[in-house]
Amino acid sequence: MRLASGHVAVQLHGEELAKIQRDFAGFGKGLVRLTPGGWVLPGPFTKYADKIYNTKFHEGDVVIMTYPKCGTTWTQEVVWTMRNNPNLDHPKASIPIKARSPFIDSDMLMHMGKGAPRNELLEMVRDILPDPDPDKGIALQLTANLPDPRTIKTHLPLSLMTPDLLDTAKVIYVARNPKDVVLSFLHHCRLMKSVDYVGSLEQYVDYFVQDQLIYGPYWEHLREAWPQRDHPNMHFLFYEDMKANPKAEMKKLDRFLGTNLTEEQLEKIAHYTSFEEMKKRDEDYYEKNANKGLKQEVKTKEGGFYRKGEAGSWKGRLTEMQEAKIDDWTKKNTVELGIKFKYSV
């Protein structure tokens, strides 16, 4: 199937699909691989791909683009707060970020399992979408109906988004070192009932370095964004730098976004968006509103969505062999790319 972006999507099949579906029970509707790029995405992507690609962005939009687990949610909260809630008094600030900052490509994730789609998001945004058409994608309709200024999340790479994205909107690309990413992503896939990963860490590292995880290949994602880092509408951000000095990174964001915040406002926002504060607000919200999407046994043992929030928490968790696999793969992929990560702060 040819997509508006020019990519050709082919369904995974045979032993490759059977193996992935044994390990990821949530991918009930299969997966596709796109050429060029080798992008692996849940089967329902093809239903939404052209709608996402043809989305008309507004001049004031900010798109936060990341490979999964690179600090998307943190950056969404920082950017949304800087733009909408600089004095920390916005009446809607306590509703989850996914209702304030739409995840434009998430409809395929809600529809990738065999069962009925999850409707948690819809319950949160009834005021904006009182009568949505379920066939058109809840996240897509939320994005279209959200008042400006919009802060939009995507895990898709640049080539699957509207080609004039950077001419119209601002893009913040967040990158994180692959060793923390693989452990954070593994946890995510075990925690989310919708993904239901039942394989081992060993296998997960193999999926990662063999470019078989959804939204990958990891390095291809970076290869599309990194050369655009000096584009006036692109801001490239490293998770590790935010961790080392959040206020300094927020000052750069302040210049990029033109928000003109004071030192005091930035100080307060840095505290408000710290791991501990975001985790606390998430727990408060889900204490009142049961989070049916998480596997409780994984949450109890390994933590929830807010797991560690560190740069370097991979240390002591990967075996020498797993580290070597990631190091070799990194070496091979960074020779020409020239990007350098910090692996701890």
Residue type, 342: K
What is the nearest approach in angstroms of ligand PPS to the Cβ of residue 215?
8
User: Can residue 73 be called a binding residue for ligand PPS (CB under 6 A)?
Assistant: yes
Q: How far apart are CA 43 and CA 275, in angstroms?
A: 33
Region of residue 261 (phi > 0: left; psi between -120 and 50: alpha; otherwise: beta): beta
Cβ distance to ligand PPS smaller for residue 185 or 329: 185
- Kindly state whether residue 85 participates in binding ligand PPS, applying the rule CB under 6 A: no
Q: Residues touching ligand PPS: how many (CB under 6 A)?
A: 21
**83 binds ligand PPS per the rule CB under 6 A:** no
329 φ, ψ to 5°?
A: -65, -40
Beta pairing partners, 238: 175
The one among 307, 325, 330, 341 contacting ligand PPS by CB under 6 A? 307
With a CB cutoff of 8 Å and minimum separation 6, the contacts of 245 are: none
Are 175 and 70 within 8 A, CB to CB? yes
Say which of 7, 58, 90, 155 is annotated catalytic: 155
Site for ligand PPS in 244-273 (CB under 6 A): 273
Which pair of structure tokens corresponds to residue 259?
Answer: 């928000």
Stretch that binds ligand PPS, among 57-65, 66-74, 224-232, 253-261 (CB under 6 A): 66-74
In the numeric block, which tokens belong to residue 74?
A: 């943190």
**Residue of 5, 55, 66, 333 interacting with ligand PPS (CB under 6 A):** 66
DSSP H helical segments within 137-294, as ranges? 138-145, 165-168, 178-191, 201-209, 218-225, 239-244, 246-257, 263-272, 275-288
Concerning whether 13 is annotated as a catalytic residue, the answer is no
In terms of Cα–Cα distance, which of 122, 341, 329 is closest to 243? 341
CB nearer ligand PPS, residue 64 or residue 158: 64
Q: Does the footprint of ligand PPS cover residue 344 (CB under 6 A)?
A: no
Closest to ligand PPS by CB, 150 vs 176, is 176
Active site residues: 155
Query: Which residues here bind ligand PPS, judged by CB under 6 A?
Result: 66, 68-74, 180, 184, 187-188, 273-275, 278, 306-309, 313
